[in-house]
Structure 1
Amino acid sequence: MAWSSSLKSLLTVFVFINLAVSSVESYQCTVYPCVTEPCAACETTKGCFNEIQKFDTPSVLTDGTFKQKGCIADSNTCSSLTISATLGDQRTFNYANSCCTSVNCNKDDLTLPAPSSTPNGVECPACYNEKTNLCSSVTTLKCTGEEKRCIEVTGKGVGDSSLIIYGKGCATENSCDLDMTVLGRIQIKTSCSSPLSNHGHPTAKFGSSFLIFLLPLKFLL
């Protein structure tokens, strides 16, 4: 009797596990860049990702846009993220990644937010170099829009040690402390520091008002 009861318990567990596994349905995601034409879809149970990156420079000859779509690997997780940074020498970088969990939900291309030209009161050191991990000259950059942090970026080519980038400038908060591959072939690390100035910060306004208040007292003493 005990053996029969144990066998029934094992059978129940087996059926439960089998139902749980079979209930996780797979679906297709759009793949880009295409390996073959037309683009083949991939199968996943984890989700689809959709990514776009744009690097703008003073010359259209060195501008670049990189798009990638596909299935989230079983060993990976996906997080939606949108970042932007403005470095010295008029270099700007914009990145957006989106995750979704339905059939071909990553089919349509992402659009990047339009850059803002409205100053936010933050000023940061700025430079850009593609030869060494330092800058011989640094300028001051007035930050705009949501780029309220001062950023430092170091990068090297994946499998190509001759490819180097280094820059400083303004960036959004979520651009800090990243370690990721951009434009398909550059591994970057970022860190953020305090701004040179923040004219729009409430503390700065309070400090100015306090000094104005104390000025007449000086002549009364």
Structure 2
Amino acid sequence: MAWSSSLKSLLTVFVFINLAVSSVESYQCTVYPCETEPCADCETTKGCFNQIQRFDTPSSLTDGTFKQKGCIADSNTCSSLSISVTLGDQRTFTYTNSCCTTEKCNQGDLTLPTPSSTPNGVECPACYNEKANLCSSVTTLKCTGEEKKCIEVSGRGVGASNLVIYGKGCATENSCNLDMTVLGRIQIKTACSSPPSNHGHPTAKFVSSFLIFLLPLKFLL
């Protein structure tokens, strides 16, 4: 009787798990871009993603906007993320990724927020290079808006591309410590640091030394 009872319990658990799995309904997501228009929808039980990226340069001829939509693969997870980075040589990069879990919830286009031009008091080393993973010259960039971290970005082209980029500048905090593909063809890694302290500035050192010099005089007067 005990063996029969165990078999019944195992069968009950199996049926319950099977019903739970089969009850997960699939739905369709909008796909973009695709090779032929109109794009065919994809089917998933994991969710849809909607993504927009923009790279701005001093010349509108080299600006670029990249949009991508589709289904989240079974082996992947989706994280909603918005980042903003300003590098040297007037290069800015903005990125927004959104996740959702209903029928064609990614059909509409996302919009990127307009970067703030209000200085926030933070200054970071800045440069940009598309030939090597280093900069021969570095300037100082006054950060704006929510870009309060100093960032270092290195990237390489995906696949057979020999593209290399390297830059420093200002960034929002959620732009830090990323390893991801951007603009459909560049694998980047980012690292952030706190803004340089004024303690190392020559003026700060002079003031500190002057105060130390005055301290003994206080006791002599």
- DSSP-derived class of the 1:61 partner: helix
Number of residue-to-residue matches in the alignment: 209
Q: State the TM-score, normalized to the length of structure 1.
A: 0.86
Q: 2:75 is aligned with what amino acid?
A: S
What are the superposed Cα offsets for residues 4-46 of structure 1, whole Å, 9 maximum, x if unpaired? 4344334322321221111111111111112332111111111
CA distance in 2, matches of 1:74, 1:148: 36
Q: Report the Cα offset of residue 220 of structure 1.
A: 9.7
1:1-221 equivalence runs, <5 A: 1-2=1-2, 4-160=4-160, 162-196=162-196, 221=221
Q: Report the Cα offset of residue 197 of structure 1.
A: 5.1
Across the aligned residues of Structure 1 and Structure 2, the Cα RMSD in angstroms comes to: 2.4
Change (3 A) 1:218 1:88: farther
Change (3 A) 1:163 1:12: same
The equivalent residue for 1:201 is none
Structure 2 gaps of 5+ residues are: 199-210
The equivalent residue for 2:203 is none
Q: State the TM-score, normalized to the length of structure 2.
A: 0.86
CA distance in 2, matches of 1:9, 1:138: 70
CA distance in 1, matches of 2:220, 2:44: 77
CA distance in 2, matches of 1:5, 1:40: 50
What are the superposed Cα offsets for residues 154-179 of structure 1, whole Å, 9 maximum, x if unpaired? 11111235200010100000111111
CA distance in 1, matches of 2:133, 2:41: 40
- DSSP-derived class of the 2:162 partner: strand
The equivalent residue for 1:202 is none
CA contact (8 A) 1:124 1:197 kept: no
Q: 2:106 is aligned with what amino acid?
A: N
Structure 1 gaps of 5+ residues are: 199-210
